[in-house]
Amino acid sequence: MGTVVEIKVSIDPARYSQARANDAINKAFDEIKRIEEVCSVFKDTSEISRINRLGKDEKLEITGEVFNLIRKTLDYSERTGGAFDITVKPLVDLWSKAKKANKLPGEGELKDALERVGYKNIVLDEAAHTILFKKDGMGIDLGGAAKGYATDRAIRLFKDSGIDSALVTSGGDMYCLGKRSAQEPWRVGIRHPRIKGRIFLEISLKERAISTSGDYERYFILYGKRYSHIIDPRTGYPIGDDIVSASVISADSTTSDILATAMCIMGEKGFGMIRDLGGMDAILVKEEAGRLTAKMSKDIRKRYDISQEKL
């Protein structure tokens, strides 16, 4: 998935053998690899690539797994007012071409790509389990949700194998299952967005996912300006440099992954959505006049034990 996956499992040796734990960990890694095979836009054989070869009005029957994942992203496209949109692929391709050529896309190219973007142009048929694009040249990119989904699947496998304590980290997406030990909770850090190797915030989580998206993960610089890999599907442009990162805490990693990407686009306006969705929190790092500031959802410190360094 172009990212590092780290798994920590904590067992009570009196109840669970090391060999069984190793077996469960191997299965979790295999599952994450399987999801990459399914979701990758770079592998011709992946289910997503098969979908992306569809022309206008062509139907394809897809697996229940991919169907459900796509449906979930469409649901969040609605909730985020189109900020999160897996049909962003033509724009992702255009900006990756720009990066390679070291040249900004032309107005015409941008307009053309934008015309092929829009989650409302995906039609899912619940009964037949098919997908259809309403326009030619469309494509989907699950890069903003697949790592979270893979994390959830790994956690599911641990639960099924009777493991009640694990920490799965897939790039910016984490899930904390149970506690690290009888005495200690899982405590995870959010990296400082500008200083390598430094953590700016630590938080204790239990049965909770946290995902962080931001411009510091993957970006490129053209004519001295920083361009993020997160694109606003409504304007066609990568997010502005005032939003540095967004972290979202929720009950599952797929949702956190989706919403962290969306919050990078929505900025502070996204806090209202997070509050309305309920049971979620967000942390937004902004850069204003060269100064980094962190904004958090109301009362987050009442819900979680947080320690924070100066940015």
Tell me how far apart the alpha carbons of residues 134 and 116 are, in angstroms, rounded to a whole number: 9
The sign of the CA dihedral 262, 265, 268, 272 is: negative
Beta strand pairing status for 186-191 and 199-205?
A: antiparallel
| CB closer to ligand AMP out of 141 and 252 | 141
Tell me how far apart the alpha carbons of residues 252 and 254 are, in angstroms, rounded to a whole number: 6
The option from Mg ion, ligand AMP, none interacting with 233 (CB < 5 to 8 A, set by class) reads ligand AMP
Give the 3-state secondary structure of residue 239: coil
> Which residues inside 122-141 make contact with Mg ion, applying CB under 5 A?
none
84 makes contact with ligand AMP (CB under 6 A): yes
Per-residue binder mask for ligand AMP (CB under 6 A), 202-221, x = binder: -----------x--------
Nearest residue to Mg ion by CB is 261
261 makes contact with ligand AMP (CB under 6 A): yes
| CB closer to Mg ion out of 46 and 170 | 170
Residues 6+ apart with CB under 8 A from 120: none
Nearest residue to ligand AMP by CB is 143
Q: Burial code of 8-24, b = ≥16 C-beta within 10 A, e = fewer?
A: ebbbeeeebeeeebeeb
> Which residues inside 165-224 make contact with Mg ion, applying CB under 5 A?
213
73 makes contact with Mg ion (CB under 5 A): no
Output the smallest distance, CB 207 to Mg ion, in A.
20
Choosing from 252, 257, 281, 287, the residue that interacts with ligand AMP (CB under 6 A) is 257
Using the contact rule CB under 5 A, the part of the chain among 178-186, 197-205, 250-258, 276-284 near Mg ion is: 250-258
Q: And the tokens for 170?
A: 């897939």
- Between the alpha carbon of residue 128 and those of residues 55, 62, 71, 88, 250, the distances in Å are 19, 9, 14, 25, 31
Residues that bind ligand AMP (CB under 6 A): 84-86, 88, 92, 141, 143-144, 172, 213, 229-231, 233, 257, 260-261, 265
